[in-house]
Amino acid sequence: MKGKDGQIFVFGSNLAGIHGAGSAKEAHVNWGAEWGVGSGPTGRAFAIPTKPAPYQPSLLVEHIAQYVATFMDYARLHPELEFHCVRIGCGKAGYTDRQMAPLFKDAPLNVFLPFEFNFVLERATEAI
């Protein structure tokens, strides 16, 4: 498996847990994400659903936000772990960094966001 002990790969998934492409495939092949587990901790990964199943329309941002909030709670309960996030929702789900990054604005210090999300969040802070 990739990464060192204590590192968790956070990826966009579908609720069916079919990890056939993109970061979901990476999670399955290299981080032990289990087939059929589409939400929550799985292997050395954490699945955040953005679609109900492959080839189906994406979940609404409001629904993805609920899964992100669950992830954030989990990360807060596990300060001993490092959570390394990909651009959740910005691949097959079709959302932009500007739509997804704000969902992660209150991420705890053990959550490491992709550059693109950090850029959006920093720009939002500068605008205030």
Enumerate the β-bridge partners of residue 85: 10
pLDDT grade, residue 128 (50/70/90)? Answer: low
Q: What is the pTM of this model?
A: 0.94
Q: Where are the domains of the chain?
A: 7-127
Q: Which residues pair with 104 in a beta bridge?
A: none
Q: Which CATH number fits domain 7-127: 3.30.1300.10, 3.30.1280.10, 3.90.1300.10, 3.40.220.10?
A: 3.40.220.10
Q: What pLDDT does 60 receive?
A: 97
Give the pLDDT of residue 95: 97
- The three-state secondary structure class of 119 is helix
pLDDT tops 60 at residue 108: yes
Q: What is the pLDDT of residues 43-60, one digit of tens each?
A: 999 999 999 999 999 999
